């Protein structure tokens, strides 16, 4: 019996917990790191009311049609103003502190000069062109939460609060194991019965792109002894282990048997296509995901399951991949009992079309596509009906 896609996602998410310690890092070096504390603003941004325009600050109540105002002070950004003399205005520039007694700014284009005295053409609105204290961030506001992944925008935000150092989680140490007698490493000479190992380098790249640290990328031949020995090395040094291949039902598929010897298997076989024989286990306390060896099965199961497991173990709040509802540009009457992730592209008519090659062994097809069209188990595909499209950039 295959486990439903959503159930497997939920089970893997709930089984996982943060496996890394905390450390302090400079904000400027924190992009991609996972925040390990809530950030509460200790100041307001901006810290005081300030001008949004170059112009004149005054009290809106002092305005009269045709009145020429005395300019009683000049306030540039960064200067501390005097209280505004009653009935006058202040020359003011963008970002400068609004003086006490002023409640509006008129942009200079809306003033005409009578000698050195401005006359304001229209009645100014109270609070016009004033950016109030705390417009962006209010003191006491929680702006980021533990589990958020730091982006360049966050670096700007934290700096705007005067913060130079933050507490983040140490990078997650990930071990990768590839399996298979047929595999050789790129760079070695090829023979007819061998293929190059693509899943090892692809998984390493996916893990690194997600901000984790690949500390071992091992390979085991199709033997229980080699598989067990490699897994023991990974168990002793890694926070999480991923493997590729050897999880199906053939006599040469040894991973699952070794897992049963070394730990506890939680689930095996999920109703998805590609990626059915995914296996989830815990080995001496270390979470383990065995991804099927067909390269597109490896990719799909990494995107949906490994990425989720790694993020929770790294302390990150799980982020659901962003979907867009997109109309299919094709029909398919045949139904499949598994949730399917077709590799598709969005054509100029705005509809999704499948790549001609949907074999789970084909990786170029994924490279030539833009994302997945998620077809739920037992559903037909009807042209013009909408389905969830997940761009690869969502993962």
Ligand X SMILES: Nc1nc2c(c(=O)[nH]1)N[C@H]1C(S)=C(S)[C@@H](COP(=O)(O)OP(=O)(O)OC[C@H]3O[C@@H](n4cnc5c(N)ncnc54)[C@H](O)[C@@H]3O)O[C@H]1N2
233 touches 192 (CB < 8 A): no
Q: Report the residue closest to ligand MOO, judged by CB.
A: 274
How far is it, in rounded angstroms, from Cα 48 to Cα 258?
Answer: 64
Site for ligand X (CB under 6 A): how many residues?
27
Q: Answer yes or no whether residue 292 interacts with ligand MOO by CB under 6 A.
A: yes
Q: Report the residue closest to ligand X, judged by CB.
A: 293
Q: Answer yes or no whether residue 297 interacts with ligand MOO by CB under 6 A.
A: yes
Provide CB contacts within 8 A for 252, sequence distance 6+. 181, 222, 246
Distance of CA 114 to the CA centre of its chain: 56
Pick from ligand X, ligand MOO, none: which does 182 bind, CB < 5 to 8 A by kind? ligand X
Residue 165: CB minimum distance to ligand MOO, A: 45
How far is it, in rounded angstroms, from Cα 176 to Cα 234?
Answer: 8
How far is it, in rounded angstroms, from Cα 389 to Cα 344?
Answer: 9
Q: Answer yes or no whether residue 199 interacts with ligand X by CB under 6 A.
A: yes
Q: Answer yes or no whether residue 294 interacts with ligand MOO by CB under 6 A.
A: yes
339 touches 376 (CB < 8 A): yes
Residue with tokens 């306030």: 75
Q: Of 103-111, 200-208, 232-240, 289-297, which part binds ligand MOO (CB under 6 A)?
A: 289-297
Q: Which of 124, 171, 246, 275 binds ligand MOO (CB under 6 A)?
A: 275
Other beta carbons within 10 angstroms of residue 47's beta carbon come to: 13
Q: Answer yes or no whether residue 307 interacts with ligand MOO by CB under 6 A.
A: no
Residue 360: CB minimum distance to ligand MOO, A: 3
Nearest residue to 6 via CA among 390, 338, 372, 378? 338
Q: Answer yes or no whether residue 245 interacts with ligand MOO by CB under 6 A.
A: no
* Conformational region of residue 310, where left means phi above 0, alpha means psi within -120 to 50, and beta covers everything else: alpha
Q: Answer yes or no whether residue 276 interacts with ligand X by CB under 6 A.
A: yes
Q: Which is nearer to ligand X, 148 or 340 (by Cβ)?
A: 340
Strands 173-179 and 240-244 turn out to be parallel
Q: Which of 124, 134, 287, 295 binds ligand X (CB under 6 A)?
A: 295
Q: Contact positions toward ligand MOO, by CB under 6 A?
A: 273-276, 292, 294, 297, 360
Can you give the binding site for ligand X, defined by CB under 6 A?
Answer: 178-180, 182-183, 195, 197-200, 244-249, 253, 274, 276-277, 292-295, 297, 360-361
């Amino acid at each position: 019996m295959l486990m439903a896609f959503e159930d497997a996602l939920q089970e893997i998410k709930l089984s996982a917990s943060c496996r890394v310690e905390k450390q302090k890092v400079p904000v400027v070096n924190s992009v991609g790191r996972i925040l390990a504390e809530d950030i509460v603003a200790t100041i307001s941004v901006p810290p005081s009311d300030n001008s949004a325009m170059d112009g004149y600050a005054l009290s809106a109540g002092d305005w009269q049609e045709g009145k020429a105002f005395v300019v009683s002070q000049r306030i540039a950004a960064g200067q501390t103003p005097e209280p505004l003399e009653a009935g006058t205005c202040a020359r003011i520039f963008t970002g400068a502190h609004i003086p006490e007694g002023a409640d509006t700014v008129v942009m200079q284009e809306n003033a005409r000069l009578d000698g050195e005295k401005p006359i304001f053409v229209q009645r100014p609105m109270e609070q016009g062109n004033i950016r109030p204290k705390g417009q962006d961030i209010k003191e006491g506001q929680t702006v980021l939460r533990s589990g958020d992944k730091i982006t360049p925008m966050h670096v700007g935000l934290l700096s705007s609060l005067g913060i130079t150092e933050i507490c983040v989680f140490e990078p997650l140490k990930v071990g990768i194991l590839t399996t298979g007698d047929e595999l050789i490493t790129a760079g070695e000479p090829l023979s007819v019965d061998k293929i190059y190992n693509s899943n090892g380098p692809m998984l390493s790249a996916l893990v690194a792109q997600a901000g984790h640290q690949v500390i071992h990328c091992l390979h085991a031949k199709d033997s229980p002894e080699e598989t067990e020995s490699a897994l023991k090395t990974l168990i002793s040094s890694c926070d999480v282990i991923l493997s590729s291949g050897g999880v199906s039902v053939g006599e040469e598929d040894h991973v699952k048997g070794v897992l049963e010897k070394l730990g506890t298997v939680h689930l095996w076989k999920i109703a998805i296509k590609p990626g059915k024989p995914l296996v989830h286990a815990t080995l001496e306390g270390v979470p383990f995901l065995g991804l099927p060896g067909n390269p597109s099965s490896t990719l799909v199961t990494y995107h949906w399951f490994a990425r989720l497991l790694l993020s929770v173990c790294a302390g990150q709040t799980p982020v659901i991949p962003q979907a867009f509802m997109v109309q299919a540009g094709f029909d398919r009457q045949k139904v499949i009992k598994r949730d399917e992730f077709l590799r598709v592209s969005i054509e100029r008519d705005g509809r999704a079309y499948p790549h001609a090659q949907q074999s789970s062994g084909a990786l170029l097809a994924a490279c030539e596509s833009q994302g997945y069209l998620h077809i739920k188990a037992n559903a037909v595909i009807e042209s013009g009906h909408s389905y969830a499209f997940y761009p690869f950039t969502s993962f």
